[in-house]
């Protein structure tokens, strides 16, 4: 899997900080099997994190764009949470929950366009099965609330796309530095998974698990900056 398909462009530094926490803790053990993990390696890794962090700090966003990012992700998380209840109601009515899972996956991945496209289909299903769903606990006005949330997501996503364009331009102009940082992350992740295979620590060195932690808001990344920093 290519790095472009793994990390969002703004996730390189937070991702590096997440794995750095585990790496620094385990380095003396890792170096017994992987000789390159010297103190000098740590200096190089930290220097590359600082380089990319400095590049990202050059990104100038308007207050409106910064707020749009926070608003968008907050609403996406809120809708995602409500879909847990909706999924339960669907199951109790023997309705297929596949599309609900797809919406939740899109929201978690911050694919707002994809989520909104599917939400339109969800609202049709709610409309057809409203009586049964309400009998299981769904609020009678849930469809209206979901429609309003979807409109809000779309509006905030317009501003967020402006942010994405700026981040993309910054990434393209400095791709070599981002690639160098990813090389550190990928090497440490690969060796950490080998070293700690079959133990809880292995998840800390699994890039997909690191991304899940970042996007869920769980701690572990230190002072990781965001594009709006």
Q: How many other C-beta atoms lie within 10 A of the C-beta of residue 65? A: 17
| Same-domain status, 182 and 137 | no
| Same-domain status, 33 and 67 | no
Mean pLDDT of the residues in the chain: 89
| Same-domain status, 67 and 139 | yes
What residue numbers bound the domain in which 76 lies? 63-162
Q: How many other C-beta atoms lie within 10 A of the C-beta of residue 41? A: 18
| Same-domain status, 85 and 135 | yes
Q: Is residue 132 part of a domain?
A: yes
| Same-domain status, 72 and 154 | yes
164-221 confidence digits (pLDDT tens): 788 889 899 999 999 999 999 999 999 999 999 999 999 999 999 999 888 776 544 3
Q: What is the rounded distance in angstroms from the CA atom of residue 15 to the CA atom of residue 21?
A: 10
Q: What is the rounded distance in angstroms from the CA atom of residue 165 to the CA atom of residue 160?
A: 9
- Is the separation of the CB atoms in 6 and 214 below 8 Å? no
- Is the separation of the CB atoms in 118 and 99 below 8 Å? yes
| Same-domain status, 121 and 183 | no
Q: Is residue 224 part of a domain?
A: no
The residue among 74, 98, 104 whose CA lies nearest residue 212 is: 104
Q: Name the pTM for this structure.
A: 0.59
Max mean pLDDT among 6-15, 53-62, 102-111 falls in 102-111
Q: Side-chain half-sphere of 138: how many Cα atoms within 13 Å?
A: 29
Q: Is residue 222 part of a domain?
A: no
Tokens of 103: 């919406």
The residues, any chain, with a CB within 8 Å of residue 169's CB and separated by 6 or more, are none
Total domain count, the chain: 2
| Same-domain status, 74 and 48 | no
| Same-domain status, 93 and 153 | yes
| Same-domain status, 128 and 81 | yes
66-121 confidence digits (pLDDT tens): 788 889 989 999 999 999 999 999 999 999 999 999 999 999 988 999 999 999 99
| Same-domain status, 108 and 151 | yes
| Same-domain status, 190 and 139 | no
Q: How many residues does the chain have?
A: 229
Task: Give percent of the chain with pLDDT exceeding 70.
Answer: 92
| Same-domain status, 157 and 171 | no
Question: Is the per-residue pLDDT at 227 higher than 70?
Answer: no
């Amino acid at each position: 899997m290519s790095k472009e398909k793994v990390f969002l462009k703004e996730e390189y530094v937070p991702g590096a900080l997440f794995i750095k926490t585990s790496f620094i803790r385990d380095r003396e053990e890792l170096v017994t099997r992987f000789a390159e993990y010297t103190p000098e390696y740590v200096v190089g890794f930290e220097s590359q994190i600082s380089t990319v962090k400095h590049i990202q700090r050059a990104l100038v966003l308007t207050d409106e764009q910064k707020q749009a990012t926070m608003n968008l992700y907050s609403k996406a998380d809120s809708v995602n949470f409500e879909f847990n209840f909706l999924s339960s109601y669907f199951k109790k009515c023997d309705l297929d929950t596949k599309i609900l899972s797809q919406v939740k996956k899109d929201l978690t991945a911050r694919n707002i366009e994809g989520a909104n496209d599917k939400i339109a289909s969800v609202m049709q299903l709610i409309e057809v099965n409203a009586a049964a769903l309400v009998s299981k606990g769904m609020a009678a006005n849930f469809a209206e609330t979901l429609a309003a949330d979807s409109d809000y997501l779309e509006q905030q996503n317009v501003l967020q796309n402006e942010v994405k364009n700026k981040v993309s331009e910054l990434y393209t102009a400095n791709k070599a530095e981002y690639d160098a940082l990813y090389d550190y992350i990928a090497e440490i992740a690969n060796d950490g998974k080998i070293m700690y295979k079959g133990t809880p620590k292995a998840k800390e060195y699994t890039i997909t698990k690191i991304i899940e932690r970042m996007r869920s808001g769980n701690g572990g990344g230190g002072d990781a900056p965001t594009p709006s920093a």
